[in-house]
Chain A
Amino acid sequence: MAHIPDGLLTLPVLIGTGALAAGGVALGLRALDDRAIPRVALLAAVFFAASLVAVPVGPSSVHLMLSGLMGVMLGWGIFPAVLVALALQAALFGLGGLTTLGTNTLNIALPGALVGMVLGPMIRSATSPARAGALAALGAVLAVAGTAAGVALALFLSAPEFTPAVKVLGLTYLPLALVEAGVSGAIVTFLARVEPHALHPNLHSVEDQPA
């Protein structure tokens, strides 16, 4: 459950995470050239659509988050993309919440952005598509772990009595991490083989892209 609903968190947590998320979004918008906006919007649409696919895990199923991959493909642009997608999910499906929009954006986008920053260059310069895929799988696990830690921290800071519930919630992230690793690895192996330029954030100008 990466979407914390309204009504659970205390005001200081909501305000603090909201401010941090706003900072991330401002960073993302500053890095974003006007002409990269269709790119961010369309990638956000694909990640949104991909998150609706239920991937089976044993008797249950998980929904993909792909935040590690988003961080690699969008850089800091992941913040506006995640914010906008979460706002639409709240409006269309009632998923997550309005006051927790900042918290949820931070929990999903920050681990993704960090993975993109640290592992992105390694993925792009990997010697083989399989190696790039393996790094992306690692990044996916780290991003899921980061999101789980963020959700746990937000709940814990709001009320320490959430601790046992948070431990149970943490377990639900294990199958997600497994599936995310498998699918993200496959996506990056595919992209590295077919169109390696897709793995660059390219937020500045379309002309900068090598042909």
Chain B
Amino acid sequence: MTLWPKDLRARLLAGFTALLCIAPLPALVPALAALVLVLALYVLERRALPWRRLLHLEAFLLLVLITVPFALPGKTLLTLGPFTASLEGLLRALTLAAKVTASVLLLSALFAETVPEQLGRALRDLRVPEPLVRIFLGLVRYLALIRGEMARLQQAMRARSFRPGTNLHTWRAYGWLIGMMLLRALARADRVEEAMRLRHYAGRLPHGAAPLVGKADLIRAIALPGAFFLILIWGLI
């Protein structure tokens, strides 16, 4: 079942609006409702949960869950020496945790089937300034190549028994590695720029007119953020 719009432009706008609706949710119940809705989207679309991304957030959420209850005044829940945790604080911390988790899951589903190259096209069709789109496409085009080059240099370092540690030697070695990468990138940028000028590049890449968004996609693009908007309205009254 597809609930997200297939057209990337509609998908981006729908996801962004939904995320904007989650950010101001004021209380625990609407925040949990948003989280349940996101999970329902995952179940209905038979999408696997991105556990690694969720775990990545865990450290920060743990910090919030531990500190926020102690930072808000209210009905005392627990006393640890001079610190008292309040019920209001605990509810607030859980609200934040639900909102952040819902947002991460939503963001992850938004870009799940997206190829970065298509993203450049979608951004251009959304009227993002042309130079910005070209920097984005340039980054996408050369990132894999640059990462490969960096991996080779690091392999060469390992072959010479380099082992990183907390010392000046490590920092200098990494400094030279990145410095070398920067020099090569600058030389490559000059070559790329020359090659493009040789091909009569005049500041715009050729591309056709943007296709229209289909009716089904339009409905999805309105319904998806609409559901989160309703939760927001419900939370605010």
Contacts and interface: CB of A to CB of B under 8 A. Distances in A.
A6 B22 contact: yes
B135 A41 contact: yes
Interface stretch (B179-187, B206-214, B215-223): B179-187
B142 interface: yes
If over half of B's interface residues share one DSSP class (helix, strand or loop), that class is named, otherwise mixed; here it is: helix
A190 B185 contact: no
Interface string A21-43: 00001000100101101111111
A74 to B, nearest CB: 11
B172 interface: yes
A66 B175 CA distance: 11
B28 interface: no
Given A42-B185, A97-B107, A187 B136 contact: no
Interface in A42-77: 42-46, 48-50, 52-53, 55-58, 64, 66, 73
Interface residues of B, number: 81
Contacts, number: 237
Interface string A139-159: 000000000000000000001
If over half of A's interface residues share one DSSP class (helix, strand or loop), that class is named, otherwise mixed; here it is: helix
A191 interface: yes
Interface in B53-94: 53, 56-57, 60, 63-64, 67-68, 70-72, 89, 92
A163 B68 CA distance: 8
Contact of A45 (B15, B96, B142, B183): B142
Contacts of A122: none
Contact of B23 (A6, A95, A206): A6
A72 to B, nearest CB: 11
Given A7-B103, A190-B175, A29 B131 contact: yes
B165 A41 contact: no
Contacts of B111: 90-92, 94
Interface range on chain A: under 10, 10 to 19, 20 to 34, or 35 or more? 35 or more
Contacts of A88: 116, 136, 139-140, 143
Contacts of A29: 129, 131-132
A164 B82 CA distance: 14
Nearest to B202: A34
Interface of B: 15-16, 19-20, 22-24, 50, 53, 56-57, 60, 63-64, 67-68, 70-72, 89, 92, 96, 99-104, 106-108, 110-111, 114, 116, 119, 129, 131-132, 134-143, 145-147, 150, 154, 164-166, 168, 170-176, 178-183, 185-186, 188-190, 192-193, 196-197, 203
Q: Which 7 A-B pairs have the closest CB atoms?
A: A186-B175, A41-B138, A182-B171, A6-B103, A190-B179, A7-B99, A7-B103
Interface of A: 1, 5-11, 14, 25, 29, 32, 34-35, 37-46, 48-50, 52-53, 55-58, 64, 66, 73, 80-81, 83-85, 87-88, 90-95, 97-99, 159-165, 168-169, 179, 182-187, 189-191, 194-195, 198, 206
